[in-house]
Amino acid sequence: MKLFQPDLRERRMLGAVFAIAFSISVLVTAFFQTQVVTGKQFLVRSEENRLRPVDIPAPRGTITDRFGQVVATSVTGYSVAVLPGDSALVASTVRDLAPFLGLAPDEVARLIRSQKPHGLLEVTTNATFAQAAALEERRTSFPNILVVERPRRYYPAGAAIGHLVGYVTEISPEELEKPEFREAGYQQGRMIGKAGIEKQYELQLGGKDGARFVEVDAMGRVIDPRSSVGAVSPTPGTNLKLTLDLELQKYIHQIFPDTMSGAVVAMVPSTGEVLALYTHPTYDPNDFVGHIPAPLWRALNADSGKPLLDRTVNALYPPGSTFKLATAAEAIRRGIVGQKTKMPIPCTGGMAYAGRYARCWDHKGHGLLDIAGAIEKSCDVWFYQIGIRLGIQSMVDAGTRMGFNRKTGVDLPSERRPQYPSGSAVAWWKRRFGNPPQPSEVMPLAIGQGPNAQTVIKMAEFYSALAGDGTTRAPHLVASPDDGKRSMDLQLAPEQLSWLWEGLARVTDQQGTALQSSLERYKLMGKTGTAQNAGLDHGWFVGFAGTPGGPPEVVVAAIVEHGLHGDATAPLASKVANFYLDRIHHHPFDPRPTLGERWRAGTKSSGVYDPQGRRLVPRQVLARH
């Protein structure tokens, strides 16, 4: 039996062989897993530990106007950074850089506080060629700085387009948390649009940043930031074409009264295409690129003129008499008035209703008027009676249907919602004022007063519908296919619209409130208005113009704060219309396009146009003005 039992030493040897074989197989498997299966992952991790990415900013997309003129573009700029090192040395370098880069003391202090161990301290991303050249010439004095070429935003028209185009500056930590920026891979230090078109279309304009990779040591310190191991090229942003007429925008900036505040919007009738969107006072977006200097920001915020306020879309004003066309349009739609309808109560300077006596702006009165005459004279008493006939609920319903209590939807990020009653008039007044409306409250509502405050672009939208076929698309600055949707529909037939046009034409012809704003070459129609204010009243003018006998080609809405009356604003609006029409019809520039300017200059005029397009020589009228 012992002959068949394995030797003890043989068993131990077999066990040892098995253990060694098992260990080798485990090691081989592990090596295979490490070297082959996950080798790339470890290689990447190793490279990540060895390399640090330095962003290469993507050039933003170019913005052009409807004719291809550049509104915003990217030019060559420079960033200046201080290399990692002793904190005292970094602070000293920043102080020495201040006079070359125009850094204010508080900006220097902010930069010194923000420095991080082993990291580059970016002093500016907006250095000019002259500043970069001056630093390179003094390389021996600044051995620890890094000057890198990078795209810089530039706005050729400067302050003329400040509110419209907006500006770009560094993304904030709060903005980095937004899903759209996280998904797009935005990082700290990225330049983004902060207002206007730049903000609205950031994801299209911004592109995708690239990166170059620099080596770091085991402590995470950059070995040589000037040399890179590799790079990923940036993807430029998408170009954007606007409906804007840049030359018109610059002309408005040139002629707007320097000492006044206000806004101008110009549109193509019915299409919603915005030709100009101007606010005064304004700012130069070139001053904001990269980083907004603290002293400039404080000065702009402290300015009583509120230059940062976009008065075209973000300021609300009572529309005053410019709103009378909405009241008249609803009365026509409901069959309350026709072309020759006269109200039963003649205007004697005011009228009484429901225990209230309401005056007309002209205390002498206007007598009996039809709809065209009421628009021409802007007779409050005629419109009081229209409001009474409609009733306050119908006025609320009409304003809601026309959109006077909702935004236009213009493609800008800061549009403010207008104020106008909605829903049940009784419920709305109770929520707003604590009491139901009195019957007489329909009177101020009918003439654009009371709880009614509109943006300039909303009034431009309304007159855009009025100047076309009674409908319009929402105002927009970026061209898009017409999907058939209409933001406003007055529900009027062409003949009914012509009744309103007749009254608007008389405002600038014959003896209207804006006679001196008539144009030599074009037919201008519009409505003046006075917006009540705590101080001096604001002056409105909204209208449209085109060649005699043809359809309107441009709508202009303008307001001048503390301008007292609309007849002071009308010449501004008429010059805007004239400039645009001269451009598209290839006429030479006329420095004195309005009839009033010709009178004051002693220049003879061949006359103005009446509603039928006939030429008039208003000598008798001239003598009365």
**pLDDT one-digit tens code per residue, 477-519:** 998 877 778 899 999 999 999 999 999 999 887 666 677 888 9
**Confidence category of residue 618, pLDDT binned at 50, 70, 90:** very low
The per-residue pLDDT for 534 is 73
* Other residues' Cβ atoms within 10 Å of the Cβ of residue 35: 10
The per-residue pLDDT for 392 is 96
**Domain 52-241: CATH superfamily, name plus number:** Penicillin-binding protein 2a (Domain 2) (3.90.1310.10)
The per-residue pLDDT for 619 is 33
The per-residue pLDDT for 564 is 64
Distance CA 493, CA 365 (A): 32
% of the chain residues with pLDDT over 70: 86
The per-residue pLDDT for 216 is 59
CA 306, 311, 315, 319 torsion-angle sign: positive
**pLDDT one-digit tens code per residue, 171-196:** 888 999 999 998 888 888 788 999 99
**Confidence category of residue 525, pLDDT binned at 50, 70, 90:** very high
**Confidence category of residue 15, pLDDT binned at 50, 70, 90:** confident
The per-residue pLDDT for 394 is 97
The per-residue pLDDT for 223 is 56
Mean per-residue pLDDT, 145-172 = 91
The per-residue pLDDT for 225 is 56
Residue 612 has pLDDT above 70, yes or no: no
% of the chain residues with pLDDT over 90: 56
The per-residue pLDDT for 6 is 57
**Confidence category of residue 218, pLDDT binned at 50, 70, 90:** low
Q: Do residues 376 and 367 touch, judged by C-beta distance below 8 A?
A: no
Residue 620 has pLDDT above 60, yes or no: no
Q: Which one has a higher pLDDT value, 348 or 535?
A: 348
The per-residue pLDDT for 358 is 95
Residue 616 has pLDDT above 50, yes or no: no
Q: Which amino acid is at 153?
A: R
Residue 135 has pLDDT above 50, yes or no: yes
Residue 222 has pLDDT above 60, yes or no: no
Mean per-residue pLDDT, 559-580 = 87
- Omega into 281 within 30° of 0, i.e. cis? yes
**pLDDT one-digit tens code per residue, 280-322:** 999 999 999 877 888 888 899 999 999 999 999 999 999 999 9
The per-residue pLDDT for 290 is 75
Residues, the chain: 625
Lowest mean pLDDT among 141-145, 265-269, 324-328: 141-145
Q: Which one has a higher pLDDT value, 11 or 242?
A: 242
CA 586, 587, 589, 594 torsion-angle sign: negative
The per-residue pLDDT for 603 is 66
Query: Strand locations in 336-490, DSSP E?
Result: 350-353, 356-359, 471-472, 488-489
Residue 227 has pLDDT above 70, yes or no: no
**pLDDT one-digit tens code per residue, 20-71:** 877 787 777 766 665 665 555 544 444 555 566 666 778 899 999 999 999 9
Please name the fold of domain 248-624.
Beta-lactamase (3.40.710)
Residue 123 has pLDDT above 80, yes or no: yes
The model's pTM: 0.84
Computed over every residue of the chain, the mean pLDDT equals: 86
Residue 209 has pLDDT above 70, yes or no: yes
| Domain limits, the chain | 52-241, 248-624
Is residue 525 packed enough to be buried (19+ CB in 10 Å), middle (13-18) or exposed (0-12)? buried
The per-residue pLDDT for 548 is 92
Give the pairing type, strands 63-64 and 240-241: parallel
**Confidence category of residue 330, pLDDT binned at 50, 70, 90:** very high
For the chain, counts of helices (H) and of strands (E): 23, 21
Distance CA 346, CA 349 (A): 9
Query: Strand locations in 260-399, DSSP E?
Result: 262-267, 274-280, 350-353, 356-359
